[in-house]
Structure 1
Amino acid sequence: MTNPQRILLVDDDPAVRSSLAFALELEDFQVETFETGELLAERGLLPDDACLVLDYKLPGLDGLSLLRQLRANGARLPAVLITSNPPERLRRATVAAGAALIEKPLLCDALSRSIRSLIDTAHG
């Protein structure tokens, strides 16, 4: 890629946030990280060319609630919700919010493949 695709990554665990950002940067993504959903919500205008990667289990505003809030405010960015052991209701709610769901632990390149697919669909 000549112009790296942007990722807005929200995860409260510093080790996970750092390792995900590192792995995505190796895949030629430009990654902006946030510790909480509230910090991303306060960012203001979101770039049109970004993809959201949101941990579901966050302190305060969880990833799905954050996505719903961003959608209500007009954000139509592709989005991936990451979590472990999601119940069926969360799977359905994620699809209804227009996002993909990736289960932790993240295996191989499942996250980057999902992001690229979502970006291609959103911009194709």
Structure 2
Amino acid sequence: MTPVASSAAPAVILVDDDPAVAHAVKFSFDLEGLNVCSFRDAESLLESGELPKRGCLVIDYHLPGLNGLDLLDRLRANGVGLPAVLITTNPRLHLRARAAASGVPIIEKPLLTDALLTAVRSALVYLD
């Protein structure tokens, strides 16, 4: 488990149980100068302690245990207001509706374009 960054720079908090996806996102975002802290499941993030004041959550919907939107609901209930992006494969209409109601964009896997990076950068712009 990677510890959550404590620097003043915004962090990307990635929650995805697929090591290949986590590695690829971390590598790509590192090249863009973004600090990525990754977690394999919701529980690991919830147990990690304090989240950074500035950053963006990137959460896979299909996680072991809590799904991505349930994790986000729990974080919001705990006062975490960081912007979030949901990643998933073939989201159904009910998932799209629930994400929209939560104000969370969905980026579909496989992550073949720069759509995730663009969504994260857009979320981070609002923090400045």
TM-score, structure 1 normalization: 0.91
In structure 2, how many angstroms separate the alpha carbons of the residues matched to 1:113 and 1:20? 13
Could you tell me how far 1:111 is from its partner in structure 2? 0.6
Q: Is 2:79 aligned against 1:74?
A: yes
Task: Report the RMSD for the aligned CA atoms in angstroms.
Answer: 1.3
Give the secondary structure class of the aligned counterpart of 1:111: helix
Query: Retained in 1: the 8 A contact 2:87–2:108?
Result: yes
In structure 2, how many angstroms separate the alpha carbons of the residues matched to 1:14 and 1:112? 18
In structure 1, how many angstroms separate the alpha carbons of the residues matched to 2:105 and 2:50? 22
Q: Is 2:28 aligned against 1:41?
A: no
Identity %: 50
Aligned residues: 121
1:16 to 14, 21, 43: 21
In structure 2, how many angstroms separate the alpha carbons of the residues matched to 1:85 and 1:6? 27
In structure 2, how many angstroms separate the alpha carbons of the residues matched to 1:101 and 1:58? 15
Give the secondary structure class of the aligned counterpart of 1:90: helix
Q: Is 2:89 aligned against 1:100?
A: no
Could you tell me how far 1:107 is from its partner in structure 2? 2.6
Q: Is 2:95 aligned against 1:90?
A: yes
2:32 to 27, 42, 64: 27
